[in-house]
Structure 1
Amino acid sequence: MNRRYLIALSFLIGVTICACAGGGVTETPPVFLTSPQGNRVEALAMTTARANAAAIRLRDGRVLICGGTATGQVGGVLSSAELYNPDSRAFTGTGSMTVPRAGQTITLLRDGRVLLTGGVQNAGFRSELASAEIYDPGAGTFSATGSMSVPREGHTATILRDGRVLIAGGSDNGIHTLDSAEIYDPSSGTFRGTGHLHQPRIAHVAALLGTGKVLIAGGGRGGMPGGYISYDTAEMYDPAAGSFTAIRAHMKSDRVGAAAVKLNDGRVLIVGGKSGRRMTSRLSNLSSLTPLNTAEIYDPEAGAFIRTGDMSAPHYLATATMLDSGNVLVVGGWTIRGPIVVGMRDADLYQPETNRFSQAGQTNVARLTNTATLLNDGEVLIAGGIADKALVTASVEFYSPKQHRFLMLPETGASTE
């Protein structure tokens, strides 16, 4: 499933990049730590600054981080990729993707390979991609696989029980929203069509349920009068029938750019996003949608959406990560500072047993469209994104559930002792 992710939605990030001052975002300077002796030590960071990248934990515990944009300018989208090794606490480059991609989906296949689909290859003058590729962790290389029937960004990718991957919705040109869906078969390396969504959707969420069906919820539709419509509707994909069915129950709020995680009990937590029900006059069109601090649960047994407690802050385009404890960490998102869109430092922790959120402290660096990946040791790697001055950062930090805080580490080989 693409989440993870958060998952980063380039359809919406285009607005962020256009809203930033100075003609586009650029890389942040290095972050330094201070040792007990007062020495300044450069903090651990990725090899490249990245926002709207894709990340996933591999079977051996390493984390693949690929693509994204380094500057938010035309030509700033990256084809490069890197690996984080938890044993050595270091980032190293790996093979480059076949084309630059930002906002692509990323899915771990049953055989340990990684599927990447769609996204955009330019910022500003965008060019959506129909192509897909496979990363082979053993060889450390990317290779092309079959292409989708249409270019897609802002779509979802959900791995099914049988190992195939459902690709749903998105946009083929940054304006037009798609209702089509297709299935990727790893055994043949090909895509084929599979029914149509009841509503064209972009920036929606998707989750594989215990029944083997896939929940598709929220999102919105572009190209409408006034610029954008956000949804409170949901539907279900049935792999056996190869079709979608509308869900009678409506979400508690319309949500575009939300994040979702399937909980251990099979329910699905949906957090944040933006709503069109409450409008602000600060910006127009898509930007006028209101960021949400609310969340809700989809209960498959009841076929209903249930409101949860509120988060401490609105989280739009945030990441949501399931911890080993079953709690869910929500990090970062969009906020406006003066005339520009920047990242935020707020983080929230959802506890299923209480159905409530509590503050999880603040990240050391503000982040928007960062990645968040659960490591084998239970910590969460938070990497990159757009920081508090609308700059793309290479910085990384770790959320420690044991210490209940975010930590930055010295660069490999350095010491703060």
Structure 2
Amino acid sequence: MVSNLWEQKILPLVLGAALVGAAGCGPDEASPRVQVSLFGWGPNGEGGQGFVTGLPDYPGAQTVTVKVTQPNDRRVLERSSFAFASRSASLPDITYGERIRLDVEVFDANNQLLAAGSTPMFTFEPGSPLRSFRAMVSPVGQAAPVGSLILDSESDQTRLVQSAFDYRGEDRSWLGRIGHESAATSEGEILIVGGGSPTGFYQPFTTPSLTEVYDDIQVFSPVTGYFTSLAQDDASEAVGMIGRDKLAEPRAFHTVTALGEDRYLVAGGFTLRDGVARPVDTLELIDLNEPPGTRVRSIIDFNGNPVRLNSPRAHHTATLRSSDGAVLIAGGIGREDQVLSTFEVVNVRAAEVSLPIDMSSPRVGHSAVLLHDGQTVWVAGGRTRSQVLDSSELLVPAGASSMSQPGVDLGRARYGASARRVRSGGGDLVLMVGGFTSLSEGASASYELGRPLQDQWIAMSEQRMESARGVAAMVELPQTGDLLIVGGLDPDRQVVTSAERLVFQGLSAIPPFAVEELGSLYQERYDFTADVASNGQVLITGGMSRENNNVARHDAEYFNAYDPVRPPL
């Protein structure tokens, strides 16, 4: 059944925008409604830049387009456009459906995109109550603070401020952190798991000096812009009153691996013992399907004993093998700063961990990528205690166990690189970007592209990005398949705040990626997490700021990479 036309109007966009729509399939049927309040980041009335209720007055803005989309199906259902100066418009038709999103775009007179934003995805169906959302519009190719509404105790008025980690704990302190991990949920929220507070500059892939290690799990909602502790009990307005819903072992520089169906494996990391960071061997399961208070638990075998890694480790990689659901834990740092040369296979369903399996070399700061066969994990680069590696190996199933086989050598030794399978290349291509080429300095701007299962490099290390960077975040944009590279450290271990977009041009193109320079982070930080939220923005959380006395950040920002919904060719 098709809905009626949205008859309501957009209220004046500068004064406070609200998009209200109604749909129904008959005169006797209750009509569900959706209300969207717009706010923006950009020029304000005082000549500065900040949060603005409604849309900021972007210079040169001429046209606003509103689209009803289904991003998961790459469908644009309806659209309407209006003049920016008119401040009002009829909204497009809408149909009932799942995972719908409203996308807002602002164009200049030359049809160049100036700013964009979206609601989180939502379901629109008969009988639904009024659904209210806020959509933040910000300049494309730039970062802006994540906005959340906070009640100002002095003025008793709500105002938009930059979102920060939830501070409701025993000491009500802001929990700035590095070494945390993140994962997306099926509801479009982002989990931020653990992390720690450093005492000074953190040298990547070493044992850190930490003042505190956290056991909390923060949940970011793109609907509200808030972070909330998973252990928060809203009824009692306290943390942990109905159960822990926290990690049993506080940890940083661990891994969080999505297992599917809102279940996540937490493995290893550093904890504090007698004030010193020590690697741990514990495994925990986050299961959001369980009742509050029981959503985090240790993995227990059939004899009732906790399942543990054979080797305590941190800075390792954890890769889900889609062929059988096993997780391969490889390399990392063990006791007494030992660089580990083994991997272990965790079978969560059977509550089992394999005996340690030898790799060809000790590795930390390496890359691990699941190849297109769903069972081979390609481990490449990294460092030992004395050298940077250009070797790689293939971790493959072997009967009831697994084994390592030699892989193709990299064109350049590197650690702290960013690596990913390239969806646009048919699924068998792997890209490795940047990283450090020596133990003391030498961040690289080069990248390599190849097919590890065929021992083949197509584009060697002479291909380059614009900026040299190691330990950068790399995110695949779900609509275009483009890769966003953001942040990192340069050859002098200074923070790189810029971002670049890599657009795959095809194997016959020289170079195979078009590199587009984008804007910078809103605030200097490195060792942050980056995830695509359900509103299409890239959420950047935590990290360390060198310009602020190496203090861990407790706030978040959005990078607007602009990844529009386009029907498939």
Matched, 1:89 2:194: no
Matched, 1:392 2:392: no
2:371 to 258, 263, 280: 263
Structure 2: runs of 5 or more not aligned: 1-98, 104-115, 118-134, 147-162, 167-174, 201-208, 231-244, 300-306, 506-510, 521-569
User: Which residues of 2 match residues 96-175 of structure 1 at below 5 A?
Assistant: 96-98=164-166, 99-124=175-200, 126=210, 127-145=212-230, 146-173=245-272, 175=277
Deviation at 1:89, TM superposition (A): 3.4
Deviation at 1:408, TM superposition (A): 3.2
Partner of 2:328: 215
Deviation at 1:167, TM superposition (A): 0.4
Matched-pair contact (CA < 8 Å) for 2:501–2:518? no
Partner of 1:53: none
User: Which residues of 2 match residues 180-195 of structure 1 at below 5 A?
Assistant: 180-187=282-289, 188=291, 190-194=295-299, 195=307
Deviation at 1:320, TM superposition (A): 1.0
Matched, 1:295 2:363: no
Structure 1: runs of 5 or more not aligned: 1-57, 64-82, 276-287, 413-417
Q: Distance in 2 between matches of 1:115 and 1:299?
A: 30
Counterpart residue type for residue 201 of structure 1: R
Partner of 1:13: none
Partner of 1:272: 381
Q: Distance in 2 between matches of 1:59 and 1:186?
A: 23
Max Rg structure: 2
1:407 to 511, 515, 519: 515
Partner of 1:383: 486
C-alpha distance 86-311 of structure 1, shift in aligned 2 (>3 A): farther
What are the superposed Cα offsets for residues 107-163 of structure 1, whole Å, 9 maximum, x if unpaired? 112222211112222342522222221111222221111321122122111111343
Deviation at 1:322, TM superposition (A): 1.5
Compute the TM-score of the two structures, normalised by the length of structure 2: 0.51
Q: Distance in 2 between matches of 1:383 and 1:123?
A: 25
After superposing on structure 2, the runs of 4+ consecutive aligned residues of structure 1 that deviate more than 6 Å are 58-63, 83-87
Counterpart residue type for residue 180 of structure 1: T
Matched-pair contact (CA < 8 Å) for 1:336–1:342? yes
Q: Distance in 2 between matches of 1:335 and 1:312?
A: 11
Q: SS where residue 306 of structure 1 aligns?
A: strand
1:202 to 314, 339, 361: 314
Q: SS where residue 256 of structure 1 aligns?
A: coil
Partner of 1:359: 460
Partner of 1:33: none
Counterpart residue type for residue 396 of structure 2: D
Compute the TM-score of the two structures, normalised by the length of structure 1: 0.69
Q: Distance in 2 between matches of 1:141 and 1:333?
A: 33
Matched-pair contact (CA < 8 Å) for 2:474–2:484? yes
User: Which residues of 2 match residues 29-40 of structure 1 at below 5 A?
Assistant: none
Q: Distance in 2 between matches of 1:314 and 1:59?
A: 45
Q: Distance in 1 between matches of 2:142 and 2:348?
A: 40
C-alpha distance 369-123 of structure 1, shift in aligned 2 (>3 A): farther
Counterpart residue type for residue 490 of structure 2: A
C-alpha distance 151-292 of structure 1, shift in aligned 2 (>3 A): same
Q: Distance in 2 between matches of 1:153 and 1:183?
A: 16
Matched-pair contact (CA < 8 Å) for 1:203–1:257? yes
1:321 to 420, 429, 436: 420
Q: Distance in 1 between matches of 2:136 and 2:450?
A: 27
C-alpha distance 192-349 of structure 1, shift in aligned 2 (>3 A): same
C-alpha distance 85-290 of structure 1, shift in aligned 2 (>3 A): farther
Matched, 1:177 2:279: yes
Deviation at 1:221, TM superposition (A): 0.8
Q: Distance in 2 between matches of 1:384 and 1:411?
A: 11
Root-mean-square deviation (Å): 3.0
Deviation at 1:406, TM superposition (A): 5.3
Counterpart residue type for residue 293 of structure 1: D
Q: Distance in 1 between matches of 2:366 and 2:100?
A: 27
Q: Distance in 2 between matches of 1:296 and 1:260?
A: 10
Q: Distance in 2 between matches of 1:114 and 1:59?
A: 19
Deviation at 1:217, TM superposition (A): 1.6
